[in-house]
Structure 1
Amino acid sequence: MLTPQQLFAHLDTLGLAHRSVEHAPVFTVEEAKAHRGELPGHHIKNLFLRNKKEQMWLVVALEDRTIDLKSLGEILGAGRLSFGSPDRLRRTLGIEPGSVTPFALINDRERRVTLVLDRALSAGGPINAHPLTNTMTTAISFTDLGRFFDATGHQPRWLDFPL
């Protein structure tokens, strides 16, 4: 599994512009708002979910979205969704709880995780996400984030939130 510095080197190799800031560890949207300072662009929340059939999803939405897991499960055809365990998160995406991020898809080489994106992320400035650790925030343009997903082999499913 990669470190943030290895992620940055990979982004550089792909020619993707990014800028990072360090901050105190954050585990919730509220903590992130308190510690991140003034970072322009979209701030996100990330949910690592699974169902009883062992299928997994990474849901990336604007940070203030309310997400109803029952409705989301129905829309995705997944049935009942629940949060993936810390162990599953480590094994599948190579990150610790509190550090869930779309950048972790770089560690999902088997493409076991389905990416679900909030359509509203496509409008406006950069996307701000943790670079595999919750002690930093990295800004990347929406277009470059899409190129990152292409490089990992993860094609997003777009949804309009709230559900």
Structure 2
Amino acid sequence: MDASSAFKDSLPTTPEAIMAVLKRLDISFSTHHHPPLRTVEDSKQFRDGMNGAHIKNLYMRDRKKKNFLVVADEDRTIDMKTLNGRIGCDRLSFGSADRLFEMLGVRPGAVSPLTLINDPDQAVRLVIDAKILQGGMIYVHPLVNDVTLGMSPDGLRRFFQHTGHDPMVLDFDSKGTTLEQS
């Protein structure tokens, strides 16, 4: 399934529309074009001048049909056996490509925190790794996987406020639960 800009017009929100929202919110960002990247391993080949936090994004659903977007440092090991208890849900599994498109308006390979623009009812719970909010730039896809935007943690937080998503900030390095809930 192609998640590149070639199919951007089939998405509920285009990369240009998301960038217009960021500009309207006065969120600074840098733009980087590259070949389509579907995995963390793919993305590690295209980092020239992109110093900062690179992430992985997991769209998940529990048995009670609650939806979650887990955003973590790209090299973070996530213990799937304990994550559900830490975020207060039933057993988690990965959401299907169809459900991903229905809930967040993107195809596999283009999932990012910016997909929350397509969740006006906050039906997807955002869980974010504390580590990525502590650095300089955070790199995210603007709903397609052949472009990456770099923005500050504060800019990303302002975006979450705009979409109405209250992130659960989780310290994946500890056995505890949340660090903060905005």
Structure 2 length normalisation: TM-score?
A: 0.87
Q: Write the distance in 1 (CA, Å) between the matches of 2:87 and 2:81.
A: 10
1:53 corresponds to which of 64, 67, 72: 64
Structure 1 length normalisation: TM-score?
A: 0.97
Q: Secondary structure at the match of 1:53?
A: coil
- What's the counterpart of residue 48 of structure 2? 37
Q: Secondary structure at the match of 1:97?
A: coil
Asked if the contact 2:64–2:90 (Cα under 8 Å) also holds between the matched residues in 1, the reply is: no
Superposed structure 1 runs of 4+ greater than 2 Å apart: 35-38
- What's the counterpart of residue 131 of structure 1? 142
The Cα RMSD (Å) is 1.0
Is the counterpart of residue 111 in structure 1 residue 122 in structure 2?
yes
- What's the counterpart of residue 102 of structure 1? 113
- What's the counterpart of residue 32 of structure 2? 21
Is the counterpart of residue 156 in structure 1 residue 167 in structure 2?
yes
Q: Secondary structure at the match of 1:37?
A: coil
Q: Write the distance in 2 (CA, Å) between the matches of 1:10 and 1:147.
A: 11
1:64 corresponds to which of 68, 75, 81: 75
Asked if the contact 2:53–2:139 (Cα under 8 Å) also holds between the matched residues in 1, the reply is: yes
Q: Write the distance in 2 (CA, Å) between the matches of 1:79 and 1:161.
A: 19
Q: Write the distance in 1 (CA, Å) between the matches of 2:59 and 2:133.
A: 21
Q: Percent identity?
A: 47
Q: Secondary structure at the match of 1:34?
A: coil
**Matched residue type, 1:70:** K
Asked if the contact 1:23–1:36 (Cα under 8 Å) also holds between the matched residues in 2, the reply is: no
**Matched residue type, 1:92:** M
